[in-house]
Structure 1
Amino acid sequence: MKVSVVLFTADLRLHDHPPLRAALDGSRQVVPLFVRDRGVADAGFAVPNRTAFLADCLGDLDAGLRARDGRLVIRSGDVVHEVCEVAAEADADEVHMASDVSAYAHRREDRLRAALAADGRQLHVHDTVTTAVAPGAVTPSGSDHFAVFTPYFRRWSQERLRRPLDAPRSVDVPDHVGSEPLPSRRTLTGVSPGVAHGGETDGRALLKAWLKGAVADYDDRHDDLAHEATSRLSPHLHFGTLSPVEVVHRARQVGGGGADAFVRQLAWRDFHRQVLAARPDAATADYRGRADRWRREPEAHADIEAWRAGRTGYPVVDAAMRQLRHEGWMHNRGRLLTASFLTKSLYVDWRIGADHFLSLLVDGDIANNQLNWQWVAGTGTDTRPNRVLNPIAQARRYDPDGAYVRRWVPELAGVEGPAVHEPWKLRGPERAALDYPEPLIDLAEGLARFKQARERGRGACP
């Protein structure tokens, strides 16, 4: 009787799961396996918010398998060792898993392939499980990846996506393969109070509601900070409780300007993954160096701590940072604003900001997080590397009545209308009554410092 192991990683679902379908088609029995990777924890990536969401996802995946007469096998430790152990216990012939793009994932895949081969077993790695279009599937002439989004998107849009796969009706798992207990978020500490619940069931319900309603207005309202006009699907895409292929298919079926704009954002996700696949060092090194002499610890300690705490004196920046701490999520416009303020106004190293985001974001994805930070910092793929987002102008445009600021900065709840964006301009007694700091930096001074730094960099790198 042929047996296969399916190693789940960032694909915690049963619908549209090519590795699981391939294993079921080729074997009588299948071991659905998730390894709580010690390497992820050692690297500091297993932070409370993502660990809580992951626990939800694993519980939901196990429930879905049990409804199909199966179960999820959980192990902890080194992935390669644990997969080989399970394959030996099950007397499995092969292992199926999804491809990934980080340097760590590449090393893990290479190690696993070699270890399985030494035992006479095969590893099958499947594309388009965590992306709609596989990294490297479309490339420009003379390069292994696209460095600019617009031409990438043109080619990406022309790709014919595979058809989404149905969830299996049944999964026969060998009885004798042992498993650890399922993790639970109830045992965790340090989880942000507003972290959403994870799992394929929740993800599919959220997607259905999104495509049935609010996606129609996405093109017009996706930057509206106060009105929650985005999908909130990013954590589900990060953990793979939703398939990017299926999401694109279903959005295109809905059609219209809002759905088209939403699909474009999904293409950004694939764009960053194809960049990181080609340039894995971009997770920590400048994709395009500007000879920056970034401020770091201890020089910028006070500024960094004020930014992390949401006490910069710029209300829209502080609102977004507090949303991040409370929910483990932040509106995309808020991500752009807070990143621009740290890197361009305070001239602090983008890696410090990216690390802080990764410490809290449920959707903390190396490709999207690091390369979006580089885009804002001007060291990445932005064709206008010196652009600076003015937090006051952005607040007036995307939170004109100040509702977003008042929601997350309660010290300013009594300030009416757009005046909330510049509380330092209030009259003396009214300003004095607010427990809210003065601006950390004058924006003009920050802009001048940044321009001078980039001018020096241009001279250093002709």
Structure 2
Amino acid sequence: MNVSVVLFTSDLRLHDHPPLRAALDGARQVVPLFVRDRAVLDTGFACPNRLAFLADCLRDLDAGLHDRGGRLVFRSGEVVEQVCRVAGAADADEVHLAADVSAYARAREDRLRRALEADGRRLHVHDTVTTAAPPGALTPAASDHFAVFTPYFRRWSDHPLRKVLAAPRTVRVPDGIGSEELPGREGLSGLSEGLARGGEREGRARLASWLRDGITSYDTGHDDLAGDATSRLSPHLHFGTLSPVELVHRARKAGGPGAEAFVRQLAWRDFHRQVLAARPAAGGADYRTRHDSWRSEAEAREDVEAWRAGQTGYPLVDAAMRQLRHEGWMHNRARMLTASFLTKTLYVDWRVGARHFLDLLVDGDLANNQLNWQWTAGTGTDTRPNRVLNPVAQAKRYDPDGVYVRRWVPELAGLEGPFVHEPWRLRGLDRAAVDYPDPIVDLAEGLARFRRARGLD
């Protein structure tokens, strides 16, 4: 009786899962396997918020498999070693895996292929599991990847999508394959209080609600900080409880300007993956150097601590940083603003901010996080690398009534009118009554420092 192994990584779902479908088509029995990678744990990338969400996803995946007569096999350790052990115990002919783009994931895939071939087994790597278009499928004439989003998006929009695959009705798992106990949120410390729940069922419920009530106004409302009109599907895309291919299909079916704007954001996600696939060093080094002499974390210690704590004296920046700590998530417009403030107003190395985001974000993703930080810092793919986002102007535009600020900075909840965005303009007893810090930097001085550093004066 032939057996295949499906190694789940960041594709923790049963709907629209090409590796699982291929394994079921080619074998009578399948071992659904997840390995908690010891190397990832050792790097510190596995922050508490993502570990908790991952635990939700694994338990939900296991429950979905049980509903179909199967179960999830969970192991911990070195991935190649554990996969080979399971494949040997099951006498499996093949292992199926979703393609990934990071340098680490691709090196791990190469090691796994060599180890399996040495045992007489085959590794099948499947594209369009975590992206809508394969990272290397769309290239310009003179390069191995697109460095500018707009021409990439044109090609991406014309690229044919594969069909969405139904979830399997039955998954038969061979007997005798040992599994460790699935992890849970229990015992994890340092979790954000408002952390969302993970799992495919949760993701599909959120998607259904988004398509019903949110997507039609996305084009006009996605920057409304107070309205919270984004999909909040990014954690489910990061862990693969939702398929990007299915999301594009369903958004296009919904139609309209809101759906088009949402699809564009999904294309941005693929864009960053094709950049990282072609330039893996961009995960930690400037994609396009501006020869910056960034202030280090040590040099800017007090400013960095104020930024992390949401105590910069700029209400919109502080509201966003407090949302991040409370929810393990932040609105996209707020991500751009807080990143601009750290890198350009405070002139602190973008890697300091990117690390803090990865420490807290439940959707913390190497491609999106690092390359969005670089985009904002001006060392990435932005065609306007020297733009600086003014936190006061951004607040008046995207939180005009101060609702978002008052939600996350309760010290300012009693202020009326424009003072909520500029409390330092209060005078005398009115200012003394507000327990909130003065700005840690003058915006004009910060802008001048940045322009001098970039040689723009």
Length-normalised TM-score, structure 1? 0.98
Structure 2 match to 1:376: 376
- 1:105 aligns to what SS in structure 2? helix
Structure 2 match to 1:394: 394
| Deviations 1:430-455, CA, capped at 9 Å, x for gaps | 11111111001000000000000000
Structure 2 match to 1:96: 96
> Residues of 2 paired with 1:428 and 1:183: CA distance?
55
Structure 1 match to 2:180: 180
- 1:35 aligns to what SS in structure 2? strand
- Residue 10 (structure 1) shift: 0.3
> Residues of 1 paired with 2:228 and 2:406: CA distance?
15
Letter in 2 for 1:111: R
> Residues of 1 paired with 2:196 and 2:397: CA distance?
28
- Residue 166 (structure 1) shift: 0.1
- 1:333 aligns to what SS in structure 2? helix
Structure 1 match to 2:243: 243
> Residues of 2 paired with 1:428 and 1:81: CA distance?
68
- Residue 104 (structure 1) shift: 0.5
- Residue 417 (structure 1) shift: 2.5
- Residue 102 (structure 1) shift: 0.3
- 1:95 aligns to what SS in structure 2? strand
Structure 1 match to 2:312: 312
- Give identity over the alignment, percent: 76
- 1:312 aligns to what SS in structure 2? coil
Letter in 2 for 1:213: D
- 1:32 aligns to what SS in structure 2? strand
- Residue 186 (structure 1) shift: 2.0
Structure 1 match to 2:68: 68
Flag structure 1 segments of 5+ consecutive residues without an equivalent.
Answer: none
Q: 2:151 aligned with 1:147, yes or no?
A: no
Is the CA contact (8 Å cut-off) linking 2:297 and 2:349 kept in structure 1?
A: no
- Residue 121 (structure 1) shift: 0.6
- Residue 152 (structure 1) shift: 0.3
Structure 2 match to 1:129: 129
- 1:185 aligns to what SS in structure 2? coil
Structure 2 match to 1:367: 367
> Residues of 1 paired with 2:77 and 2:174: CA distance?
22
- Summarize the alignment of residues 146-225 of structure 1 with structure 2, pairs less than 5 Å apart: 146-225=146-225
The worse-fitting range, judged by mean Cα deviation, of 206-215 and 271-280 is: 206-215
- Residue 188 (structure 1) shift: 1.0
Q: 2:17 aligned with 1:17, yes or no?
A: yes
- Residue 427 (structure 1) shift: 2.2
> Residues of 2 paired with 1:26 and 1:53: CA distance?
32
Structure 2 match to 1:294: 294
Is the CA contact (8 Å cut-off) linking 2:292 and 2:453 kept in structure 1?
A: yes
- 1:172 aligns to what SS in structure 2? coil
- 1:335 aligns to what SS in structure 2? helix
> Residues of 2 paired with 1:301 and 1:259: CA distance?
43
Is the CA contact (8 Å cut-off) linking 2:32 and 2:73 kept in structure 1?
A: yes
> Residues of 2 paired with 1:426 and 1:216: CA distance?
40
> Residues of 1 paired with 2:340 and 2:166: CA distance?
42
> Residues of 2 paired with 1:337 and 1:389: CA distance?
6
Letter in 1 for 2:137: A
Structure 2 match to 1:78: 78
> Residues of 2 paired with 1:63 and 1:405: CA distance?
40
> Residues of 2 paired with 1:127 and 1:435: CA distance?
53
> Residues of 2 paired with 1:237 and 1:351: CA distance?
23
Letter in 2 for 1:326: H
> Residues of 1 paired with 2:375 and 2:412: CA distance?
31
Is the CA contact (8 Å cut-off) linking 2:297 and 2:352 kept in structure 1?
A: no
Q: Which runs of 4+ in 1 moved over 6 A?
A: none
Structure 2 match to 1:117: 117
Q: 2:449 aligned with 1:452, yes or no?
A: no
Is the CA contact (8 Å cut-off) linking 2:317 and 2:338 kept in structure 1?
A: yes
> Residues of 1 paired with 2:178 and 2:415: CA distance?
59
Structure 2 match to 1:420: 420
| Deviations 1:108-151, CA, capped at 9 Å, x for gaps | 00110011111111100000000001101111011000000000
Letter in 2 for 1:226: A
- 2:455 aligns to what SS in structure 1? helix
Letter in 1 for 2:198: G
Letter in 1 for 2:37: D
| Deviations 1:334-385, CA, capped at 9 Å, x for gaps | 0000000000000000000000000000000000000000000000000000
Letter in 2 for 1:65: L
Structure 2 match to 1:6: 6
- Residue 418 (structure 1) shift: 2.5
- Residue 297 (structure 1) shift: 2.7
> Residues of 2 paired with 1:96 and 1:297: CA distance?
42
Structure 1 match to 2:31: 31
> Residues of 1 paired with 2:36 and 2:290: CA distance?
38
> Residues of 2 paired with 1:309 and 1:115: CA distance?
46
RMSD across aligned positions (CA): 0.8
- Residue 100 (structure 1) shift: 0.3
> Residues of 1 paired with 2:11 and 2:403: CA distance?
36
Letter in 1 for 2:357: F
- 1:34 aligns to what SS in structure 2? strand
- 1:455 aligns to what SS in structure 2? coil
- 1:87 aligns to what SS in structure 2? helix
Letter in 2 for 1:345: T
> Residues of 1 paired with 2:298 and 2:67: CA distance?
54
- Residue 419 (structure 1) shift: 1.6
> Residues of 2 paired with 1:322 and 1:417: CA distance?
22
Letter in 1 for 2:48: P
> Residues of 2 paired with 1:381 and 1:28: CA distance?
47
Letter in 1 for 2:311: R
Is the CA contact (8 Å cut-off) linking 2:297 and 2:348 kept in structure 1?
A: no
Letter in 1 for 2:447: L
Is the CA contact (8 Å cut-off) linking 2:11 and 2:241 kept in structure 1?
A: yes
Structure 2 match to 1:358: 358
> Residues of 1 paired with 2:93 and 2:39: CA distance?
26
Equivalences, count: 457
> Residues of 2 paired with 1:297 and 1:278: CA distance?
29
- 2:248 aligns to what SS in structure 1? helix
| Deviations 1:211-270, CA, capped at 9 Å, x for gaps | 111110000010000011000000000000000000000000000000000000000000
